[in-house]
Amino acid sequence: MLGTRRPKISSAAWRSEGGASTTPAVRPAAWTAPDQRQYREGVPTTRRELRRARSADAGWDAMFLTSGLPLWVITMAALLVWSQSLHTIQHAGAGAGTVVRLMLSVIVVIAGLLLLAPVLTGWQRRRFQGFRGIEIREIQTPRLYRRGQFRLVLRSEALWRQVLYHLIAGPLIGMALALLALMAAITVFVAVKLPAHALGMGQYHRVYGEKFWGQVAYLLLSGTAVVFMPRLIRALARADDFAARRLLGPSETLVLARRVQTLADSRAAAVEAADGERRRIERDLHDGAQQRLMSLALHLGIARKTLTDVPPEAMSVIVDAHEQVKEAMAEIRNLVRGLHPAVLDDRGLDAALSGVAARSAVPVRLTVGTTGALSASVETVAYFVVSEALANVVKHSRASQASVEVTRQEDRLLIRVADDGIGGADTRSGTGLTGLAHRVASVDGRLRLTSPSGGPTVLTAELPCGV
Amino acid sequence: MRVVIADDSVLIRAGVVRVLEIAGHEVVAETGDGTALLAAVAEHRPDAVIVDVRMPPTFKDEGIAAAVEIRDRWPGTAVLVLSQFVEERYATDLLARDTSRIGYLLKDRVADLDSFIEALERVAAGGTALDPEVVAQLLVRRPADPLDRLTPRERDVLELMAEGRANTAIAERLRVSESAVGKHINNIFMKLDLQPDDQGHRRVLAVLRYLAA
């Protein structure tokens, strides 16, 4: 900690997720005091070095705290005045006028703060960034001076939190700092005066004798406090960090809400990107490998038909090659069909499902109801569900027939794939089904599987298709 | 036979041209997209057109649209659609008007020269050539037997209808009210997809369905 010169800012989850992101404490060169630089090189080891390091840190912290004073001074004064008035009201039983004046001043100060909060917060944000390397996220708050935003201002939780900082938290820290400074000053003053007292004791001791011992006691007490001063200052600086993060930055709820939004957006983008990639691969294969193979098959076909005077061994090689290239074409076609068939974009899910169902080695009966308009991502997932489920039926179920039903129920698309096979399928064991569950989850859908041993297996996917 | 070819891949076009020449057919024009194909057909009035599905500018179903238009404007011209994939939905579009002079095959089939030429000639002669994969796709969508959807009581009613009995007689026989019989009959019509036009006509159709099963 001392090696890096700055207290490390702990990164509790809510903070690192955007409340006030912590950047490595990089300060502008102008702020780096010369005597602090040496500590960057090595970790202080001796007691003396440690003490020096701590007091240098405390000096920096004190500067940081002092820099807040100008921003707090008015509200500090207001707090002092209010506490005086409260005191008067309590003890002297002051008249209604004082109470009204107190109330009015509170309202005026709070209104002023509501008005100025964005500006003050901006200054504080720069102060924390400059001194502490702490980034406090900016949040949009309604402005009191704008038309029609009055209600919004009163209801703005963020704005009230900022007022709380500028009115209470900051000034309290400022007062504590002032108190510490005062105490230190008195200590120095007393320490300077004490020897003089001791020397002149003979002359004055009848008058000042009792005071002398009082001063000694004070000096002992405040001396101890001065020894602990660096720690006290550091604690205050941390308190300021904490208050600013909690009160000036976005609230935890807001941070989480934003986070959820960001995650939802990035997930949608990732799903989209994956779909786009599948489309691209499909097109590339269609324009490239498939055409080449097609041409190759054609030419081998021509050779097979027109070459009449080749030796039979050569002809058998041509025939073999021709048959193999045709098989390769069929394989690529099946592969590409599983990726993202062009017909899905052209004519939609209903049309695309015919191909999957027909390709299945287990006979399939396909029923597609009116699905209405579906988003491309839902169609792609639905297609993938049917395609993967049927592949699983063929691979594992030993079924003699399967059925696929696709229906729309209000804002959900229901896909039901059933087979009369041996059952015992599990979303956890089969890799195909696991991938399927993930794919369905990527659009907030639900996948259910009932597959008792002995069958039948029914797989149901529910995909939300609200816009 | 005079043929026009449309395919955006020069490689494949050249291959198909060679295959056709070997078989003794004349390729009068080669084009790379749907619009050019229509112009070429208008100009040369070929006996047959061989067309790819995915062509510029959209690379979607240009070929299908062009094929449908050719069938509309020049019904005497045979159209053979070739594609890397066959889709039942495209086939339905192609066959919507009538099933003569139309073919829809996977491109793979061209590599089997003899059967490809045979399919082309069959289509040109007024026949049909559908890829087995298209047929398989059409078959997965065969509807369930509508009679399976009837309840046992509705079946009883239909059986009696088939015997030629009127509603009164059916009600008497089944010991239910006549209005209940009417309800059953309406359900039967609904489940057999018989539209409510002429009562007597629907009754006959329902009975025919029953007898055919």
pLDDT tens per residue across span A409-419: 989 999 999 99
Helix (H, G, I), strand (E, B) or coil at A237: helix
Residue partners of A181: CB distance under 8 A and separation at least 6 = none
**Which segment of A27-41, A298-312, B76-90 scores lowest on mean pLDDT?**
A27-41
For the cut 80, the answer to whether the pLDDT of residue A22 exceeds it is no
Q: Do A325 and B59 touch (CB under 8 A)?
A: no
Helix (H, G, I), strand (E, B) or coil at A219: helix
For residue B118, what pLDDT is reported? 92
Tell me whether A301 touches chain B (CB under 8 Å). Answer: yes
Instruction: Please provide the size of chain A in residues.
Output: 467
Average pLDDT over residues A319-328: 95
Q: Do A298 and B16 touch (CB under 8 A)?
A: yes
**Which segment of A22-36, A141-155, A247-261, B184-198 scores lowest on mean pLDDT?**
A22-36
Give CA–CA dist B81/A204, Å, rounded.
123
> Domain B2-139 sits in which CATH superfamily?
Response regulator (3.40.50.2300)
- For residues B81 and B128, the answer to whether their CB atoms sit within 8 Å is no
Tell me whether B16 touches chain A (CB under 8 Å). Answer: yes
pLDDT tens per residue across span A163-184: 999 999 999 999 999 988 888 8
Which secondary-structure segment (H or E) carries A256? helix A252-287
Structure tokens at A388: 């993967």
Domain boundaries, chain A: 13-250, 347-467
Smallest Cα–Cα separation from B3: which of B29, B32, B39? B29
Tell me whether A297 touches chain B (CB under 8 Å). Answer: yes
Of A281 and B164, the structure prediction assigns the larger pLDDT to A281
For residue A3, what pLDDT is reported? 42
Average pLDDT over residues A333-353: 87
For the cut 60, the answer to whether the pLDDT of residue A39 exceeds it is no
Test the B interface: residue of A307, A343, A393, A401 with most B CBs within 10 Å? A343
Q: How many CB pairs under 8 A join A and B?
A: 111
For residue B203, what pLDDT is reported? 77
Domain boundaries, chain B: 2-139, 146-212
Q: What is the DSSP letter of A75?
A: H
For residue A12, what pLDDT is reported? 40
B189: exposed, middle or buried (C-beta count within 10 Å: 0-12, 13-18, 19+)?
middle
Average pLDDT over residues A193-206: 62
- For residues A440 and A463, the answer to whether their CB atoms sit within 8 Å is yes
Which residues does residue B52 pair with via DSSP β-bridges, in sequence order? Answer: B82
- For residues A170 and A128, the answer to whether their CB atoms sit within 8 Å is no
Tell me whether A329 touches chain B (CB under 8 Å). Answer: yes
Kindly report whether the peptide bond that precedes residue A456 is cis, defined as omega within 30 degrees of 0. yes
The model's confidence at residue A42, banded by pLDDT at 50, 70 and 90, is low
pLDDT tens per residue across span B137-153: 877 776 666 777 788 88
Give CA–CA dist A212/A261, Å, rounded.
68
The model's confidence at residue A206, banded by pLDDT at 50, 70 and 90, is low
Which secondary-structure segment (H or E) carries A23? none
Tell me whether A447 touches chain B (CB under 8 Å). Answer: no
Of B16 and B197, the structure prediction assigns the larger pLDDT to B16
Structure tokens at A89: 């009201």
Tell me whether B139 touches chain A (CB under 8 Å). Answer: yes
Q: Taking the CA of residue A160 as centre, how many other CA atoms within 13 Å lie in the half-sphere pointing to its CB?
A: 7
For residue B204, what pLDDT is reported? 73
Q: Please list every residue in chain A whose beta carbon sits closer than 8 Å to the beta carbon of residue B108.
A: 294, 297, 326, 329-330, 333
Assign a CATH topology to domain B146-212. Arc Repressor Mutant, subunit A (1.10.10)
Which secondary-structure segment (H or E) carries A79? helix A47-92
Give CA–CA dist A375/A282, Å, rounded.
20
Average pLDDT over residues B128-140: 84
Sheet of B2-6, strands arranged across: B26-31, B2-6, B48-52, B78-83, B102-106, B128-130
In degrees, rounded to 5, the angle at the alpha carbon of residue A448 between the alpha carbons of residues A445 and A453 is 160
Tell me the CA distances in angstroms from A287 to A292, A425, B55, one per residue in order: 9, 38, 11
For the cut 90, the answer to whether the pLDDT of residue B200 exceeds it is no
For the cut 50, the answer to whether the pLDDT of residue A23 exceeds it is no
Give A101-120 as a DSSP string: HHHHHHHHHHHHHHHHHHHH
pLDDT tens per residue across span A123-134: 999 999 988 888
For residue A201, what pLDDT is reported? 55
- For residues A161 and A252, the answer to whether their CB atoms sit within 8 Å is no
For the cut 80, the answer to whether the pLDDT of residue A372 exceeds it is yes
Test the A interface: residue of B17, B53, B88, B131 with most A CBs within 10 Å? B88
Give CA–CA dist A5/A132, Å, rounded.
11
For helices A342-359 and A312-339, give the axis angle rounded to 10 degrees: 110
Structure tokens at B117: 């030429």
Sheet of A412-419, strands arranged across: A364-368, A402-409, A412-419, A457-464, A446-450
For residue A209, what pLDDT is reported? 58
Assign a CATH topology to domain A347-467. Heat Shock Protein 90 (3.30.565)
Kindly report whether the peptide bond that precedes residue A7 is cis, defined as omega within 30 degrees of 0. no
Which residues does residue A404 pair with via DSSP β-bridges, in sequence order? Answer: A366, A417
For residue B2, what pLDDT is reported? 96
Q: Please list every residue in chain B whose beta carbon sits closer than 8 Å to the beta carbon of residue A323.
A: none
Structure-derived torsion over alpha carbons of residues A239, A245, A247, A252, reported in degrees to the nearest 10: -130
For residue A315, what pLDDT is reported? 95
Give A295-321 as a DSSP string: HHHHHHHHHHHH--SS-HHHHHHHHHH
Give CA–CA dist A182/A176, Å, rounded.
10
Tell me the CA distances in angstroms from B5 to A71, B56, B91, B96, one per residue in order: 82, 15, 19, 23
For the cut 80, the answer to whether the pLDDT of residue A18 exceeds it is no
A409: exposed, middle or buried (C-beta count within 10 Å: 0-12, 13-18, 19+)?
exposed
For the cut 70, the answer to whether the pLDDT of residue A13 exceeds it is no
Which residues does residue A152 pair with via DSSP β-bridges, in sequence order? Answer: none
pTM over 0.95: no
> β-pairing, A402-409 with A412-419?
antiparallel
